Structure 1
Amino acid sequence: MKVYFIETTDKTQRYGIGSYVNNLIPEFKDKDIDFNYVHINSRLYNSVVRTKKASISHIHIPVPINGNSDIGSEFHIPLLFARGIYTIISRHTGKSEKFVLHLNSVMQTNIGVVAKDYSAALVVYTMHILLWRFFYKNDYERFILEWNNRQDNKESHKIDSLLEEKKLCEIADKVICLTDDAYKFVIEIYQIPPSRVIIINNGLNANILPQVSSLKKKKMRRKLGFNHKDKILLYVGRLNQGKGLEFLIDAFHDVLKVHQNTKLIIVGNGNFDMFLSRCSDIWSRVLFTGYLDKSELSNIYNIADIGVLPSLNEQNSFVALEMMAHRLPIIASDIEGFKNILHDKTSCLKIKMVKGKDSSGLDIYALTKSITTLINDESIGARLSNNAYNTIIEEFNSKTMSDKLLMIYRELLLCVIEVKPK
């Protein structure tokens, strides 16, 4: 069973999609699967190179010879480049051999188009982000108005991207959604038959994370320049609109009025200028780390006291799962993306959304109150974090995720074998 998993080597590989495949690969070990990881826009080589690491084949496809580094990252992959990608992949398969092509971004739609033209590949698409929520800032009324009048909005890049995704969903033999919200959207708005849509929640292996004692935690804090009495709040994610970081910083100002020994660590890349100005009077209390690799980030998780997920638009977030796995008490925005994995007052404290003049936001007063509650009463945080940890072990683990995905691969290939003429 051959599978070609497509990713574009850009910032998405550092975040959600990178976490997705990195949690899948270890689970595929010793399974009946020839898993090929295709890196488009690879900067490691100047020509197409195939490598192997831990039984997984990696195909590195560099930036096209025209030198346009934007191709395959922020922009749609052009049809000509898509044909080249498909040709490279098909060289590794038999002429009549069916294989699975697993796409992970609307930017990759043309690869699916080419694959269907040659009819050798079975296309799977994982919807890692719900575009309408991102574009319209959760304003469903505004979205549906523009969507229903899309013939009159031919210049709208938002509608163009949504139509491109609809096209990809129509091409795909199976669409994988991460949440109930996305599943409903694909069926009702894109009108994809329910038989071709499935929900597979993200998952990770929390059992491999080392347990850190309180003594070791104190030593790690001192090494990283923190006092053992500091109360550390943690944000992990991109620094851009829609992630809700501005609401956390505003609430943090209010927390400092009561708890002066509180620190805020902000992990991630993005638009630093957008948020640095909001911290001008509290710079000594806020640490911007930029992007951290897996081991560095694990150290930060281990020294933090509270994890905050203020995002306005999320899809079964790996950051949420990582915080749960590290037994961090969590405060999260009350959005659809966290609905299945985090439950208010059971495994987290949730903050209601408030509708503003132009867009929705978080209730800053409620966020401040939840932070101070967890600082004042550690027993509440302990109860929430233990429940969250048990949830990830039982329901959102990487084995369950990989088993369901393998089942999809096998079912698609089995259907092809069964209808193959004698």
Structure 2
Amino acid sequence: MTKKKIYIFNNNSRAAIYGIGTYIAQLIDCLKKEEIEFGLIYIHAAGEEVTVTEKEGYQLISIPSTNSCNSRGREYYTRNIAYLLKEFIPVEKGVEYIFHLNFMNNPTLVSNLRKMFKCKVILVAHYSNWSFTLLGDNLKLQQILKKRPKKRNYSEQNIVKDIKEDTKMITKCDKFVCIARHSMESFTSICRIDAKKIVLINNALKDCYIPVNEEQKRILRHKYYIQEGVPLLIFAGRLDEVKGIAYLIQAFRKVLETYKNARLLIAGDGNFNRWLKEAKDIWSQITFTGRLEKDVLYELYHIADMGIVSSLHEEFGFVAIEMMMNQLPIIVSDTGGLSEIVENDISGLKIPVMNDGKQQVIDAEALSAKMIQLIKQPGYAEILAENARKRFLKKYDLMIFREKMLNLYREV
């Protein structure tokens, strides 16, 4: 069997801290348990010089960014990545190199890697600029694509340009991995990708769940100054508009009309001032924690009455499966990957995402009704929580992901 070396690309971005960062951390955890040589290539890294270090048994190559932000500068930087890697990755006879890319919209990088290495290239679609811009509104996308080029506005022209760049990049790769079925269907129909090239591999998490009893929950509530009997709701994620935080706060405001002592924890970093304005008059019941370490976040999951993922669009939904792993009843918006993760009224509750004629919106009344339902019916909430954990173990445990990724590396 041909020896293989895998090099995983990461990037200095907010996505690398959250979803993509989580994905790469889980992938590294899988590969460390196998007799597979791998390395991590960190582009647009901090610093002024290229560094090569050994970290926990694998090679870490960090390539700093350049000051140039125009298209020519970006092309120059992309070309130099491949030339630099040629210097730091020794080419060995009988070794097949696999470059695992985690960012779209850069076909030039694939071309340059192929020039410098005899290699295979795997591309994972964690998100696309066009899907993110339209918040997953496929109807609006179809309307844009049907327009004559001259009739498209500047934003629409950029969306079409991104689609063309993504299509070009996917075509140059050997395998294209989608993390959710809706993504696979979108790319297949819009970019007209060869079905043989596409692989569906859902994201996953290593099972870190540690059950706690009622006494331990009481101690944790005391630790975080949450009184017993107080309904506790939790959101975790970036404080971006796409996460539906405005609708979450509006819905929670309605919950307070029935449960005046309810608390909402919003865990994540971003523009706090914007959401503090949204929370006017109910500040005392909402806590913005900033980004939390996993051990603290999981303790809060243990004492929360429900988790809420109110995104207007999610390519997958790591936070949802993280909450399900921790046996927390969840409410998610019925969009993108979240639609696939949760079975409504079985392993969680769903709220619709609608278009009001201008943009994607969430019905805050419907969301608040689901929140109140879970507070009023703790027995029902417990059933949802148990089913959520069962679904996590069946579909999103890291062992499932590990086998699929190893098969992909073997077969590419």
Task: Give the TM-score normalised by the residue count of structure 2.
Answer: 0.92
**Aligned counterpart, 1:132:** 130
Structure-2 separation of matches of 1:342 and 1:29: 30
Q: Which amino acid aligns with 1:112?
A: V
Q: Report % sequence identity.
A: 28
Partner of residue 104 from structure 1, selected from 94, 102, 105: 102
Query: 1:291-345, CA deviations, whole angstroms, 9 ceiling, x for partnerless residues?
Result: 2232332233223221011112112211011100111100111123123221001
User: Do the aligned partners of 1:76 and 1:106 also contact (CA within 8 Å) in 2?
Assistant: no
**Highest relative contact order (Cα 8 Å, sep 6+), 1 or 2?**
1
**Aligned counterpart, 1:330:** 330
Q: Which runs of 5+ in 1 are unaligned?
A: 413-422
Structure-1 separation of matches of 2:143 and 2:352: 25
Which secondary structure does the structure 2 equivalent of 1:301 belong to? helix
Query: 1:102-147, CA deviations, whole angstroms, 9 ceiling, x for partnerless residues?
Result: 1111254432131133452211111112443322233323211222
Structure-2 separation of matches of 1:77 and 1:28: 34
Structure-1 separation of matches of 2:159 and 2:374: 40
Change (3 A) 1:225 1:356: same
Structure-1 separation of matches of 2:117 and 2:153: 31
Q: Which runs of 5+ in 2 are unaligned?
A: none
Give the root-mean-square deviation of aligned CA atoms: 2.2
Which secondary structure does the structure 1 equivalent of 2:241 belong to? coil
Which secondary structure does the structure 2 equivalent of 1:307 belong to? strand
Structure-2 separation of matches of 1:77 and 1:289: 38
Change (3 A) 1:57 1:300: farther
Which aligned pairs between 1:300-311 and structure 2 lie closer than 5 A? Answer: 300-311=300-311
**Aligned counterpart, 2:194:** 193
Q: Which amino acid aligns with 1:87?
A: Y
Shift, 1:18, TM fit: 0.8
Which secondary structure does the structure 1 equivalent of 2:266 belong to? strand
**Aligned counterpart, 1:250:** 250
Structure-1 separation of matches of 2:99 and 2:80: 15
Which aligned pairs between 1:140-289 and structure 2 lie closer than 5 A? Answer: 140-149=138-147, 151-152=149-150, 153=152, 155=154, 156-206=157-207, 208-289=208-289
Structure-2 separation of matches of 1:411 and 1:76: 36
Query: 1:398-419, CA deviations, whole angstroms, 9 ceiling, x for partnerless residues?
Result: 121122112111112xxxxxxx
User: Do the aligned partners of 2:130 and 2:162 also contact (CA within 8 Å) in 1?
Assistant: no
Range that drifts further, 240-249 or 210-219: 210-219
Change (3 A) 1:295 1:47: farther
Which secondary structure does the structure 1 equivalent of 2:203 belong to? coil
Structure-2 separation of matches of 1:238 and 1:273: 14
Q: Which amino acid aligns with 1:94?
A: V
Structure-1 separation of matches of 2:153 and 2:90: 40
Which secondary structure does the structure 1 equivalent of 2:331 belong to? strand
Q: Which amino acid aligns with 1:88?
A: L
Shift, 1:150, TM fit: 6.5
Which aligned pairs between 1:303-382 and structure 2 lie closer than 5 A? Answer: 303-382=303-382
User: Do the aligned partners of 1:77 and 1:110 also contact (CA within 8 Å) in 2?
Assistant: no
| Matched pairs, number | 404
Which secondary structure does the structure 1 equivalent of 2:43 belong to? strand
Structure-2 separation of matches of 1:349 and 1:132: 28
**Aligned counterpart, 2:10:** 7
Which secondary structure does the structure 2 equivalent of 1:102 belong to? strand
Structure-1 separation of matches of 2:253 and 2:232: 14
Change (3 A) 1:324 1:270: same
Query: 1:172-216, CA deviations, whole angstroms, 9 ceiling, x for partnerless residues?
Result: 11110011111111111101100000100011122x332233222
Partner of residue 54 from structure 1, selected from 29, 50, 56: 56
Partner of residue 80 from structure 1, selected from 56, 72, 76: 76
Change (3 A) 1:230 1:351: same
Change (3 A) 1:107 1:354: closer
Structure-2 separation of matches of 1:408 and 1:177: 13
Shift, 1:387, TM fit: 0.7
Shift, 1:84, TM fit: 2.0
Shift, 1:171, TM fit: 1.5
Matched, 1:24 2:22: no
Change (3 A) 1:313 1:210: same
Q: Which amino acid aligns with 2:351?
A: I
Partner of residue 117 from structure 1, selected from 102, 111, 115: 115
Q: Which amino acid aligns with 2:121?
A: V
**Aligned counterpart, 1:34:** 37
